[in-house]
Amino acid sequence: MPVIRTVIFDLPLRVVGGLRDAVFPPGCAHCHVRTGRHGALCPSCWSELRLIERPFCEVLGTPFQRDPGAGMVSAEAIANPPAFDRLRSVAVHDGIARDLVHALKYRDRTDLAPMMAGWMVRAGEEALSSCDCVVSVPLHRSRLFSRMFNQSAELARHVARLSGRRFEPQALVRRKRTSQQVGLTANARELNVRGAFIVPEQLSPAVFGRRIVLVDDVYTTGSTVSSATRALKKAGAADVTVLTFARALSGPI
């Protein structure tokens, strides 16, 4: 057995990759049709992904139907300024984007995280280039025990790796077990997560005065990331950018 292991480890990476592809042919991460490489979508699925591109609100990342000019902010961001400094997302939370999020979150498809994180790095390029660290929205320990992994932490870990930034997985803790947000009204969601997060005292130096990218899988009403941002700002964070894979939108884009 040691001889076999030595032979395998001495093989060039392209040969090992070829052997893997022969046993597990690369397929679309959504529909599983054959593709040229692993960790990708086929052209058909890619064309159905509703990417969020400029022009959009510089604060909330909400797409504009017409280009109002550089640096414009939406009426919503002016009327109700968020707790965070800006929001960036890859795609609208419907169709294929929603399927990918659900597969990662509920079907243990952690193999999707590197691909999704790669797109998130592109969407949050400006914030990541100037941030000090990447933080994920945490699960309560009881939920983490039952689910066995945190999808937001998986995304954040790969976002940090791909962008060359430090990942601080313990910088934010969920101290209150909250109810599932799905099905709750916007007000109920906000009450559900109020005071749910805290920065541990021993981790405060990693947050104080820092520019932080806060990673979550989906942005819906913003109650969860807003509560998390308040905890980070209370601990002295200088700037918080929320970066998600998907973003729920009520109107057309």
Give residue 182's pLDDT.
Answer: 66
Same domain for 196 and 208?
yes
Same domain for 177 and 211?
yes
Same domain for 104 and 157?
yes
CATH number at residue 83: 3.40.50.2020
Query: Has residue 26 been placed in a domain?
Result: yes
Same domain for 136 and 34?
no
Give residue 4's pLDDT.
Answer: 44
**H helix count then E strand count, the chain:** 12, 7
Q: Tens-of-pLDDT digits for all 253 residues of the chain?
A: 444 444 444 545 455 445 455 557 899 999 999 998 889 999 999 999 999 999 999 999 999 988 888 889 999 999 999 999 999 999 999 999 999 999 999 999 999 999 999 999 999 999 999 999 999 999 888 777 677 789 999 999 999 999 999 999 999 999 877 666 666 667 777 666 777 899 999 999 999 999 999 999 999 999 999 999 999 999 999 999 999 999 999 766 6
Same domain for 22 and 38?
yes
Cα dihedral 102, 250, 52, 78, rounded to 10, equals -130
Same domain for 64 and 25?
no
Q: Are 236 and 207 in contact (CB under 8 A)?
A: yes
Backbone phi, then psi, for 159, in 5-degree steps?
-60, -45
Same domain for 175 and 89?
yes
Whose tokens are 């945490």? That residue is: 138
Query: Has residue 149 been placed in a domain?
Result: yes
Same domain for 93 and 218?
yes
Give residue 87's pLDDT.
Answer: 98
Give residue 6's pLDDT.
Answer: 45
Q: Please give the tally of structural domains in the chain.
A: 2
Same domain for 88 and 166?
yes
Query: Has residue 252 been placed in a domain?
Result: no
Query: What phi-psi label fits residue 148: left (phi over 0), alpha (psi between -120 and 50 degrees) or beta?
Result: left
Query: Has residue 10 been placed in a domain?
Result: yes
Q: Which residues share a beta bridge with 63?
A: 56
Q: Pick from 201, 209, 212, 210: which is nearest to 240 by CA?
A: 212
Query: Has residue 253 been placed in a domain?
Result: no
Query: Has residue 237 been placed in a domain?
Result: yes
Which residue range(s) make up the domain with 38?
Answer: 1-48
Tokens of 2: 């040691």
Instruction: Give the three-class secondary structure for 187.
Output: helix
Q: Which residues share a beta bridge with 56?
A: 63
Tokens of 66: 């017409």
Give residue 157's pLDDT.
Answer: 97
Give residue 145's pLDDT.
Answer: 67
Give residue 179's pLDDT.
Answer: 60
Same domain for 44 and 123?
no
Give residue 17's pLDDT.
Answer: 47
Query: Has residue 147 been placed in a domain?
Result: yes
User: Could you give the CA distance from residue 83 to residue 43 in angstroms, rounded to a whole number?
Assistant: 38
Those residues whose C-beta lies under 8 Å from the C-beta of residue 89, and which sit 6 or more positions away, are 52, 61, 123, 219, 243, 244, 245, 246, 247
Backbone phi, then psi, for 56, in 5-degree steps?
-145, 165
Q: Which residues share a beta bridge with 241?
A: 86, 213
Same domain for 124 and 233?
yes
Give residue 175's pLDDT.
Answer: 86
Same domain for 194 and 234?
yes
* C-alpha triplet 76, 99, 218: angle, nearest 5°: 30
